[in-house]
Structure 1
């Protein structure tokens, strides 16, 4: 089952092209270590939950 993470508007505003956007999104997704990024869809990162314990850093 995919999960959706809303990407902040600032990330879209501060990105100069699609590759730059992807770099910023992947950097933002580091805040969610229990999600594996699959793709960007509209304003959401589509992810799958991985097996990492969310309490681990």
Structure 2
């Protein structure tokens, strides 16, 4: 298993109590981290896995 990456989420993500809105805000925030895929949210962190960039040279 790969080691997950943790990205600290800003406080505004958690201003809503609705889990769907928290998830939506998290995904919007994570657009600034294009090589990470969010697996889950845990203790104000987005738990992610890194997406490896494919090399087109062979």
TM-score, L = length of structure 1: 0.82
Superposed CA deviations along residues 4-57 of structure 1, whole A, max 9, x for unmatched, are: 0000011111x240101100001111110111110000100000111138xxxx
- Are 1:3 and 2:5 counterparts? yes
Report the number of matched residues.
Answer: 52
Asked which structure has the greater CA Rg, the reply is: 2
Q: CA RMSD in A?
A: 1.4
1:38 corresponds to which residue?
39
| In structure 2, C-alpha distance between the alignment counterparts of 1:19 and 1:25, rounded to whole Å | 10
| In structure 1, C-alpha distance between the alignment counterparts of 2:53 and 2:9, rounded to whole Å | 22
TM-score, L = length of structure 2: 0.81
